[in-house]
């Protein structure tokens, strides 16, 4: 069994009509959630830099940019893929450790708009893009994730197959697209030490590279046919352990997009368990700085690897500091988009409390990762009391789901920079996306 | 000591005036050799496909394409980086296992032309680009090379630093450029099994990605500052063994570009030792198919890993078949650009002889790799005689050098598709490149 071929066969064959209604509804929420993140991120400094780059290079006006105007489909994938990955509110899939929206959707949108395809086409392509990259991510997780940013590496395959579907590629061309997506897969975690802007480059480039692979395949450009399982392929080169069965087990019988999680807090997903639990403590007790002796957060290894930082010095680094997020949650009672700001970053109380937060790995919690992204917290109070709480599934996981109303509310809160009319148009368009004949209609809303 | 910082400090400081005359002369030959490969490759099918893609996406007319016309600097790096890596005659550095020209030079040319920089600027940037990627390649070779195509992965750093030099970036910006080059580094050998077109995508994307990293750094886009040695950086993620000392040992005291090898045969460098030796046998004896009982080729592991193929079915695959190249060399006495064609691919005598070629790893030869790319051949004849030959350095290595006249001759032979006048102009321009005030002058020769 050739894995790329199996994925291509599935992707080539799937039609909109075969999607169960709940998959269609859920996918529209993923797309709405993507728009929220992309709009909220579009005025951030790193995104403006990428926008300057796109303008500097030029390109035919094929697809809309969330920063305004149009450029080539490839440039749009780059820019829109970067824009949606900066406010740290984009969706996440536990099992594969992938933020799929920020890679799959910009690539799909660029092609759908350029080729004047319908909302149904877009929905189908997004479902397939999620399916393929989630499966690849699950196959290599968690070992791959130590060095590699799954969203970037595995995401490239998702962008490629979504674009390939919209370009109506044959099964063979899809195999080549996957092959040349995988050989471009890149994105190292090293940037996290510096809190560098690289994370947005990763998602933007993954969207762009996947699209490039699909566009080349359309022209007959060949690629490796066993990029996943081959002796010098993605699995062996880039993961210590991998599980081939994840690629095909249940393929076509389930829709993995339904396993997607949405983020409510505007920080790294690996901080959400603790934030959830400490917001509960805030609600129940509102302990003051003086009352708190210490906070112990125990979680899985990847959470500690990525978010153990007791001295974040930028807003962005604060989103990746488990200590900061914990202090913020228990003192302020929230960790939303507007809570990560310079005032809170340098807030005296938060800075003092941050030093009292101890983070460590819990072997039992770690054993359940990545199926469960759990944590325990222990808040020791000055009066000798200890508050203990535990979470297996942070808010927004399918097992601890948000409602569609909450997601619409999240979108509305995140998009302060656009008018109420535009917000309503976007919500209306996306919630009835299957009725849109030409996705250009939707994309004019952001211009 | 931060490695990226050391490389950036060196790159930022080096001036044209500090280059010894032999380095300037040698670098011009590297650039001439690049032009030969890019011109010869520009009409090949995969390059036409990339050219279609570039046209489809559009871009401002900043830099010339070897396929004609102009596009954005980024598109030019992509296309020109692909074009120069297809006829398998581009240069190679033993110690780092990198074809530097095909990645460093297109990125440098695109910026030099776009920014109307001089021949001296171009020469200096190329020297630096080679220096940086050779050092990184040496640090991770040979273990990295099993999965990864060094030209693509390590080459990305070379393209980035060459572009960064021409964009006159500060030391800090150069560190960011290197960081974001390394986090984009990609290119798996898996394609070799299918003989897919991916190899050209690798070199083109490496040139493009390196340039993107430099352009972003110019805008202040930050990147990981320890991309090489960091805990989640390039070395640890992508090589089983690495030697940090290779990055800085002798930096600024030597010019690694002088270690560059030129290719005379139009096939994978890992076949050249055997081709050299079997051409000698051809010259001495011209044995017929019937006279040859068997040919045993022993070489280092990487050569066998990449080129053990006793049934190549495309011209391109033939260039990567040690068995085919050996049969071709002993029966035809050459393995030049025009020897790899459909006639020879399916030539009865070659196909029969191909089955008599046995290839294997020799531990002693392997122990000297990659400092020496050696081989032994044993030709057993029907009369019972055995001819044995050995090579430590294939023709074109610095230890077995070609002359500048031979390289001019090689260029002339490779560029049949352009007029004699154009050939002469290009040769004249490049051999006096330090006198050119604006590299636009040179690039108009290819339009």
Does any domain span residue B371?
Answer: yes
Nearest-CA distance B76 → chain A (Å)? 11
Pair (B183, B323) in one structural domain: no
Q: Is the pLDDT reported for residue A61 higher than 80?
A: yes
Residues 268-327 of A with CB under 8 A from B: none
Nearest-CA distance B377 → chain A (Å)? 28
CB-based contact A74 B57, cutoff 8 Å: yes
Band (pLDDT 50/70/90 cuts) for residue A411 is very high
In degrees, rounded to 5, the angle at the alpha carbon of residue A193 between the alpha carbons of residues A273 and A206 is 80
Rounded Cα–Cα distance for residues B40 and B336 (Å): 12
Nearest-CA distance B394 → chain A (Å)? 27
CB-based contact A223 B74, cutoff 8 Å: no
Report pLDDT for B1. Answer: 84
How many Cα atoms occupy the beta-carbon half-sphere of B299 within 13 Å?
A: 33
Pair (B276, B358) in one structural domain: yes
CB-based contact A179 B198, cutoff 8 Å: yes
Nearest-CA distance A409 → chain B (Å)? 32
Strand-pair category, A292-299 with A357-361: parallel
Does any domain span residue B45?
Answer: yes
Any idea what DSSP says for residue A277? H
Q: How far is CA A218 from CA A75, A193, B258, in A?
A: 18, 39, 41
Structure tokens given for A444: 């004019």
Does any domain span residue B348?
Answer: yes
Pair (B213, B257) in one structural domain: yes
Pair (A289, A143) in one structural domain: no
Residues 235-274 of A with CB under 8 A from B: 236-237
Task: Encode burial over A66-94: b for 16+ CB neighbours within 10 A, e otherwise.
Answer: bbeebbbbbbbbbbbbbbbbbbbbbbbbb
Mean pLDDT to the nearest integer, A141-145 = 95
Pair (B102, B237) in one structural domain: yes
Structure tokens given for A234: 């993605």
pLDDT digits (tens, 9 = 90+) for A414-436: 998 899 999 999 999 999 999 99
Pair (A213, A236) in one structural domain: yes
Q: What is the CATH number of the domain that holds B66?
A: 1.10.4100.10
Band (pLDDT 50/70/90 cuts) for residue A72 is very high
pLDDT digits (tens, 9 = 90+) for A261-288: 999 999 999 999 999 999 999 999 999 9
Q: Is the pLDDT reported for residue A1 higher than 90?
A: no
Nearest-CA distance A100 → chain B (Å)? 19
Report pLDDT for B447. Answer: 77
Structure tokens given for A380: 């020791």
B69 phi and psi, to 5 degrees? 75, -170
Q: In 3-state terms, what secondary structure has residue A271?
A: helix
Does any domain span residue B384?
Answer: yes
Mean pLDDT to the nearest integer, A355-369 = 97
CB nearest B193 (choices: A59, A75, A230): A230
CB nearest B188 (choices: A59, A182, A221): A182
Are the C-beta atoms of residues B367 and B311 closer than 8 Å to each other? no
CB nearest A223 (choices: B187, B191, B221): B191
Pair (B190, B326) in one structural domain: no
Q: Of the candidates B136, B219, B217, which has an alpha carbon nearest to the alpha carbon of residue B175?
A: B217
Q: Kindly state whether B405 is in contact with chain A, defined as any CB-CB distance less than 8 angstroms.
A: no
Residues 72-91 of B with CB under 8 A from A: 72-75
A103 phi and psi, to 5 degrees? -115, -50
Pair (B233, B124) in one structural domain: yes
Q: Of the candidates B217, B230, B108, which has an alpha carbon nearest to the alpha carbon of residue B158?
A: B108
Rounded Cα–Cα distance for residues A440 and A166 (Å): 14
Q: Mean pLDDT per 10-residue run, chain B (447 residues)?
A: 96 98 98 98 97 98 98 98 96 97 98 98 98 98 96 98 98 98 98 95 98 98 98 98 98 98 95 97 96 98 95 93 98 95 97 97 96 97 97 96 95 94 97 98 92
Pair (A38, A176) in one structural domain: yes
Question: How many domains does the structure of chain A reveal?
Answer: 2
pLDDT digits (tens, 9 = 90+) for B14-25: 999 999 999 999
CB nearest B223 (choices: A182, A196, A215): A196
Q: Domain range spanning residue A275?
A: 269-391
Pair (B195, B311) in one structural domain: no
Rounded Cα–Cα distance for residues B209 and B185 (Å): 8
Chain A: residue whose CA lies nearest to B180: A198
Structure tokens given for A207: 């969207």
How many other C-beta atoms lie within 10 A of the C-beta of residue B293? 15
Report pLDDT for A384. Answer: 96
Does any domain span residue A354?
Answer: yes
Q: How far is CA B216 from CA A79, A162, A205, B30, B163, in A?
A: 13, 27, 13, 28, 11
Does any domain span residue A124?
Answer: yes
CB nearest B226 (choices: A46, A193, A223): A193
Rounded Cα–Cα distance for residues B145 and B329 (Å): 27
CB-based contact A52 B219, cutoff 8 Å: yes
Question: How many Cβ contacts (< 8 angstroms) between chains A and B?
Answer: 198
Q: In 3-state terms, what secondary structure has residue A63?
A: strand
Are the C-beta atoms of residues A167 and A218 closer than 8 Å to each other? yes
Rounded Cα–Cα distance for residues B427 and A241 (Å): 52
Nearest-CA distance B1 → chain A (Å)? 16
Selected for mutation to probe chain B from A232, A233, A235, A305 (highest B CB count within 10 Å) is: A232
Does any domain span residue B150?
Answer: yes
Q: Kindly state whether B148 is in contact with chain A, defined as any CB-CB distance less than 8 angstroms.
A: yes
Q: Tell me the angle at which helices A272-285 and A322-332 cross, rounded to the nearest 10 degrees.
A: 20
Q: How far is CA A350 from CA A194, A249, A325, A331, B271, in A?
A: 22, 46, 9, 7, 64
Q: Kindly state whether A338 is in contact with chain B, defined as any CB-CB distance less than 8 angstroms.
A: no
Nearest-CA distance A188 → chain B (Å)? 5
Rounded Cα–Cα distance for residues B41 and A394 (Å): 54
For chain B, how big is the Rg over CA atoms in Å? Answer: 21
Q: Kindly state whether B194 is in contact with chain A, defined as any CB-CB distance less than 8 angstroms.
A: yes
Does any domain span residue A397?
Answer: no
Pair (B197, B298) in one structural domain: no
Are the C-beta atoms of residues B197 and A221 closer than 8 Å to each other? yes
CB-based contact A56 B220, cutoff 8 Å: no
Pair (B297, B419) in one structural domain: no
Q: What is the CATH number of the domain that holds B284?
A: 3.30.1330.120
Q: Is the pLDDT reported for residue A447 higher than 80?
A: no
Q: How far is CA A296 from CA A221, A277, A285, in A?
A: 54, 12, 17
Report pLDDT for A417. Answer: 87
CB nearest B224 (choices: A180, A194, A225): A194
CB-based contact B205 A209, cutoff 8 Å: yes
């Amino acid at each position: 069994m050739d894995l790329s071929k199996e994925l291509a066969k599935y992707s080539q064959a799937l039609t909109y009509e075969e999607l169960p209604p709940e998959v269609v509804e859920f996918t529209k929420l993923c797309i709405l959630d993507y728009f929220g993140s992309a709009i909220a991120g579009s005025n951030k400094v790193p995104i403006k830099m990428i926008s300057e780059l796109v303008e500097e290079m030029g390109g035919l006006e094929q697809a809309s940019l969330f920063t305004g105007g149009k450029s080539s489909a490839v440039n749009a994938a780059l820019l829109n893929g970067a824009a949606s990955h900066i406010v740290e509110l984009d969706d996440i899939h536990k099992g594969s450790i992938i933020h799929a929206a920020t890679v799959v959707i910009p690539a799909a949108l660029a092609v759908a708009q350029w080729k004047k395809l319908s909302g149904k086409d877009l929905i189908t392509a997004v479902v397939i893009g999620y399916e393929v990259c989630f499966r690849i991510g699950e196959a290599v997780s968690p070992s791959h994730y130590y060095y590699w940013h799954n969203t970037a590496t595995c995401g490239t395959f998702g962008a490629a197959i979504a674009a390939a579907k919209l370009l109506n590629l044959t099964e063979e061309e899809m195999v080549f697209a996957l092959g040349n997506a995988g050989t471009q897969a890149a994105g190292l975690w090293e940037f996290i030490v510096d809190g560098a802007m690289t994370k947005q480059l990763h998602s933007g480039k993954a969207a762009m590279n996947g699209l490039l692979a699909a566009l080349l395949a359309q022209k007959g450009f060949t690629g490796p046919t066993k990029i996943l399982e081959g002796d010098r392929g993605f699995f062996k080169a880039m993961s210590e352990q991998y599980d081939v069965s994840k690629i095909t087990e249940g393929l076509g019988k389930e829709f993995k997009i339904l396993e997607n999680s949405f983020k409510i807090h505007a920080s790294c997903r690996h901080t959400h368990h603790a934030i959830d639990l400490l917001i509960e403590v805030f609600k129940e007790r509102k302990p003051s700085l003086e009352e708190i002796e210490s906070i112990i957060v125990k979680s899985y290894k990847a959470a500690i690897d990525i978010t153990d930082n007791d001295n974040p010095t930028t807003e962005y680094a604060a989103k990746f500091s488990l200590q900061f997020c914990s202090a913020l949650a228990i003192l302020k009672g929230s960790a939303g988009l507007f809570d990560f700001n310079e005032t809170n970053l340098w807030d005296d109380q938060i800075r003092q409390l941050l030093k009292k937060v101890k983070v460590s790995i819990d072997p039992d919690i770690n054993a359940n990762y990545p199926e469960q992204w759990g944590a325990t917290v222990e808040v020791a109070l000055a009066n000798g009391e200890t508050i203990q709480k535990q979470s297996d599934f942070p808010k927004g996981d399918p097992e601890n789901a948000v409602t569609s109303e909450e997601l619409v509310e999240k979108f509305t809160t995140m998009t302060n920079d656009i008018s109420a009319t535009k917000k309503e148009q976007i919500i209306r368009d996306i919630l009835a996306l299957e009725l849109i004949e030409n996705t250009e209609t939707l994309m004019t809303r952001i211009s």
